[in-house]
Amino acid sequence: MNAQPGTRRLPRPIRPFRHREYRLLVVSMAASLFASGLWLVALVYQVIALGGGPAQLSVVATASAVGLLVSVLVGGVAADRLPKRAVLLGVEVVRVVSATAAGALAVTGALQLWQLAVIAFVLGAAEAFFFPAYSAILPTLLPSDELLAANGVEGTLRPIAQQALGPALAGVVVGAFAPGIALLLAAGIYALAAATLLVMRSVAVVPAADATSVLADLAEGFRYLFRTGWLFASLAFATLYVLVLIGPIEVLLPFAVREQTGGGASSFALVLGTFGVGGALGSLVVSSWRLPRRYLTAMLLLWGAGAAPMALIGLTTQLWVMAAASFVVGFTGSAAMVIWGTLLQRRVPPHLLGRVSSLDFFVSLALMPVSMAVAGPVGEWLGVPMTFVLAGLVPVFLAVAAIVGWRLPADEIAHPLDVTPEDDAPQAPLPAV
């Protein structure tokens, strides 16, 4: 089969945009991420406007996290059982209704903290359905050799839209008007995301399996995880990686900046900002290449060895060194994440992809709070510098152990995913319904 005219002349990250439905999906996702960044900052100031402090904000944030955690596995089952566009549309509708309710109650002066916590729980639960459905819909829209580029687009958009542009707009709107107006604006942008999904034509779906219970579907996903060596090794590594790395970044980094460089809030923001910039560039760069032949080895070493600069954060007294180290960790972590998302879409059977994606999400969610809870006591016991040194070195050994222990190089040879120029043409799509 010959490639479509012009395919090879297009830069690799641009090729997925030839497909109309994918373009609409990206517009919807960008709007949704932008609205989420706006919502998160507006939520903070709405809690403050209600007279709340750190404890009250923690209650609302915890409600969102609990909603996400209790729903994520069910979200994976839904992504495998139901039309994926319908699941994504349902998530956006819930977001529109929830944000509109919060904003309307706020501007009328009727909003109470418990209502905001309930709304946050509902939005967290809705979020649990989004990522598995989004991950599972991509292979129905694109040929396999364009999935890496598509995952790179998502990895680039997320820090830009959700962590930069959305919060920036929220700060302007809250300062000029009130948090309730920002909440209503978020609802309007969520509505744009929903409207874009409505414009999409019917997309290809994987034929549904025989009807079973939700528990049976979950059990099937777990069985696949435990009997699939490369998947189990990668998730086992990711579990420990999250445990070792997230806590120091989220909890101890501001103390490292203050105690070792003498910097304040602006210095801390600089280090965090370089992490986000590195993540966006890492996603963009890796999506510009072909999937590495040694894709499992490359992915785990990007995560493991890429965390080594964390040790520099513990050893340096220079702010620029901390910023550079943060940039590298963000770059390599996001690059590995793009490869990981592509592997799931290309090696996991389509009828299991939603559940496996939700298991991946669940592992990260489950251990993030544990990592943040133990980071403080460990930092006090070992000292902040030594904690960062260990956070940088331990993932290197974990990555090597996973690669060697599960013989991942042999698995890569047995299951090559890199494509040749002759394979560059789009695959025949699944039948649309």
Distance between CA atoms of residues 292 and 284, nearest Å:
15
Distance between CA atoms of residues 9 and 93, nearest Å:
39
One-letter amino acid identity for 54? P
Contact 242, 367 (CB under 8 A): yes
Distance between CA atoms of residues 360 and 376, nearest Å:
26
* CA atoms within 13 Å, Cβ hemisphere of 407: 6
Where do the domains of the chain lie, and which CATH numbers do they carry?
Answer: 12-201+211-215 (1.20.1250.20), 224-419 (1.20.1250.20)
Distance between CA atoms of residues 310 and 316, nearest Å:
10
Q: Is 3 helix (H, G, I), strand (E, B) or coil?
A: coil
One-letter amino acid identity for 273? G
Instruction: Walk along the chain (433 residues) and give the pLDDT tens digit of each residue.
Output: 334 444 445 677 678 888 889 999 999 999 999 999 899 889 988 998 999 886 788 788 888 888 888 898 999 999 988 899 999 999 999 999 999 999 999 999 999 999 999 999 999 999 999 989 999 999 989 998 899 989 998 888 888 888 778 888 888 898 889 999 999 999 999 999 999 999 987 655 555 555 567 788 889 989 999 999 999 999 999 989 998 998 888 788 888 988 999 988 678 878 877 888 898 899 989 988 888 999 999 999 999 999 999 999 999 999 999 999 999 999 999 999 999 999 999 999 998 999 998 888 887 777 777 887 788 888 889 999 999 999 999 999 999 999 999 999 999 999 998 654 444 444 444 444 3
The reported pTM is 0.81
